[in-house]
Structure 1
Amino acid sequence: MEAEEAEAAAPRPGPRRRRRTAVLIGGAAVLGLIAGGCAGYLVQVHRAPTKLPSLAQPVVAQAKGEGPEPLSAARDRRVKTDGDLRKLLLEKPRGARDATRLMGRDGWLDLAAYTSFYEKPGEMFGEIVGDEFRRAAVTGWLVGRTHEVEIRLVQFRQEETLAAAENVENTQYWVEDEGGTDSWAIPGSGNGRVYVHTRPETKPGYLPVYTAEAHAWRGDIGLEMWITDTKPISKAKIMDLAERQMERL
């Protein structure tokens, strides 16, 4: 009983806990290196000096022949991901209409629009800036009257941290923590998962809303995908979209 109360009282990890934990681990590693260096110095100071090898080294002849051919634009992923990010999004199905709640302009989401989806936009604005946000592309469509899809590709500079992976992993943690949620790995993604929420969101005077989502990353791009409908959403539906979107990355 006491263990359960202690667990309930323990604070839940924040949305950026993984990145902060990595910093703490890095600090501990530095302390370990300093301690090891001091011990090594004490050992070395009592040893006799070792004669250094000659600085003259044999000259290595350059290999003959041409180097490897550069990758074509079709095979070079950097060419693809540094271009128009919107072109990597899935195309709207034939007969579908534009999504009714889609934010952004001309397929782009700026930083302010992207962080507006969080419960504390002001706080998250600073967090995402620190994560080296580069840009975000968005698309979405409506099939029938209630089946709506939204897909975002969020790209990071990743000069300091692997922000795409960290952001997706944190999102996956919170999604998996929700009750009434089933999840499956996205084949071939290595890290991505789809989620089907079996409990609808309800509000007096409105139809129930079911949700399924997918979160994955590849390189410096994170995938965020949602499907909403007034009817339960199948695993096959969200999985098909997620697999096809990841193939384009």
Structure 2
Amino acid sequence: MGDAPEPFAGEAPENPVGVAPAVAGEGPGASDAPGAAPKRRRGRTVALVAVAAVLGVVVGTCAGYLVQADREPTALPPLSQPVLAQAKGEAPEPLPAARDRRVKTDGDLRKLFLKKPRGAEEPDWPMGSDGWLELTEFAGYYEEPGDMFGGLVMDGFRRAAVTGWSDNDHSVEIRLIQFRQEETLAAAETVDNSQYWADEEDDTDSWLVPGTGEGRVYVHKSPDREPGYEPVYGAEAHIWRGDIAVEIWVYGSKPVPKKMIMDLAERQMERL
């Protein structure tokens, strides 16, 4: 009765006396269990390396400041540049007024027009006041005067001059339109716009005017026909130079020869 029963051979006791039960994941051999990932312990070594790296950066920065502080300051280059010696010799004489284009174009534009041919008559249509066109008058030449008026104001319209004459077969009108050109090349843009609409006319031939860059003349081979009026043939030229746009218009009861409109364009540009 007082003796404890002995276990059967080959059979281990369920809870040997004095041995604590093992906890999962602890104890020797726990990491060798199937499917269990080994755990890495953080020791002091990692922390010490991080602290040493930070201290190294701080010490290096301080050393750099100390080295820079001990150096002599670098002198900056002077703001003033050396004075260049003036070339010897006589100063060139200014251009005479006859060769200074700016003097011509800032003067009376009406003096730059072609002279009327001998035997030509004064035109029988209104041509401004004493050879000048006001802004409203010039805008009135277009199909939408209100829009054109605003556009000319935005383009810096300065002034416009006009002349013309009539002979037995044709009538000629020449306009010089000058712009201030403070922000845009308004003279060139005005000519581009006029050339666009001239190209839109049916049955029209055009040619470049020599020596003017993109200046062109246009001959409309088909006449304009309106009830109650005789057919009217037309030709035109649109050229620019500097701040002045040049418009030449020729109308007549007979077709306008290319030679006529080209000659007018070339001779008028020679005066500019």
Which bracket does the TM-score occupy, shorter chain normalised? 0.7 to 0.9
Does 2:152 correspond to 1:134? Answer: no
What is the aligned partner in structure 1 of residue 226 from structure 2? 203
What is the aligned partner in structure 2 of residue 100 from structure 1? 124
The whole-number CA distance in structure 2 between the counterparts of 1:113 and 1:85 is 17
The alignment's TM-score, normalised by the length of structure 2, stands at: 0.70
Which amino acid in structure 2 is aligned with residue 92 of structure 1? K
The whole-number CA distance in structure 2 between the counterparts of 1:52 and 1:102 is 75
Which amino acid in structure 1 is aligned with residue 198 of structure 2? V
Correspondence for 2:258 among 220, 235, 242 = 235
- Percent identical across equivalent pairs? 66
The whole-number CA distance in structure 1 between the counterparts of 2:97 and 2:180 is 21
Report 1:162-173 matches (<5 A).
162-173=185-196
Correspondence for 1:226 among 249, 256, 265 = 249
Structure 2 unaligned segments of length 5 or more: list them: 1-73
Does 2:172 correspond to 1:122? Answer: no
Cα gap change, 1:102 to 1:242, in 2 (>3 Å)? farther
Structure 1 unaligned segments of length 5 or more: list them: 1-50
- Once the 2 structures are TM-superposed, how far is the Cα of residue 68 of structure 1 from its aligned partner? 1.9
What is the aligned partner in structure 2 of residue 189 from structure 1? 212
- Once the 2 structures are TM-superposed, how far is the Cα of residue 204 of structure 1 from its aligned partner? 2.1
What is the aligned partner in structure 2 of residue 176 from structure 1? 199
Report 1:17-56 matches (<5 A).
54-55=77-78
- Once the 2 structures are TM-superposed, how far is the Cα of residue 53 of structure 1 from its aligned partner? 5.4
- Once the 2 structures are TM-superposed, how far is the Cα of residue 231 of structure 1 from its aligned partner? 0.9
Please tell me whether the aligned partners of residues 102 and 139 of structure 1 are also in contact (alpha carbons under 8 angstroms): no
Which amino acid in structure 2 is aligned with residue 179 of structure 1? D
What is the aligned partner in structure 1 of residue 271 from structure 2? 248
What is the aligned partner in structure 1 of residue 178 from structure 2? 155
What is the aligned partner in structure 1 of residue 96 from structure 2? 72
Bigger drift between 215-224 and 170-179 goes to 170-179
Bigger drift between 210-219 and 61-70 goes to 61-70
Q: Point out the structure with max Rg over C-alpha.
A: 2
The superposition leaves residues 47-79 of structure 1 with CA deviations (integer Å, 9 ceiling, x where unpaired) of xxxx89512543322333332211111111011
- Once the 2 structures are TM-superposed, how far is the Cα of residue 205 of structure 1 from its aligned partner? 2.5
Correspondence for 2:237 among 210, 214, 220 = 214
What is the aligned partner in structure 2 of residue 11 from structure 1? none
The whole-number CA distance in structure 1 between the counterparts of 2:101 and 2:152 is 24
Which amino acid in structure 2 is aligned with residue 192 of structure 1? G
The whole-number CA distance in structure 1 between the counterparts of 2:150 and 2:113 is 27
The whole-number CA distance in structure 1 between the counterparts of 2:268 and 2:96 is 22
The superposition leaves residues 95-117 of structure 1 with CA deviations (integer Å, 9 ceiling, x where unpaired) of 11111123201111010100001
- Once the 2 structures are TM-superposed, how far is the Cα of residue 188 of structure 1 from its aligned partner? 1.2
Cα gap change, 1:61 to 1:198, in 2 (>3 Å)? same
The whole-number CA distance in structure 2 between the counterparts of 1:149 and 1:61 is 57
RMSD over aligned Cα atoms? 1.5
SS, match of residue 149 in structure 1 = strand
SS, match of residue 231 in structure 1 = coil
Cα gap change, 1:52 to 1:194, in 2 (>3 Å)? farther
Which amino acid in structure 1 is aligned with residue 112 of structure 2? L
Q: How many residues align?
A: 198
The superposition leaves residues 202-231 of structure 1 with CA deviations (integer Å, 9 ceiling, x where unpaired) of 112221000000000111111001100111
Which structure has the higher relative contact order (CA within 8 Å, separation 6+)? Answer: 1
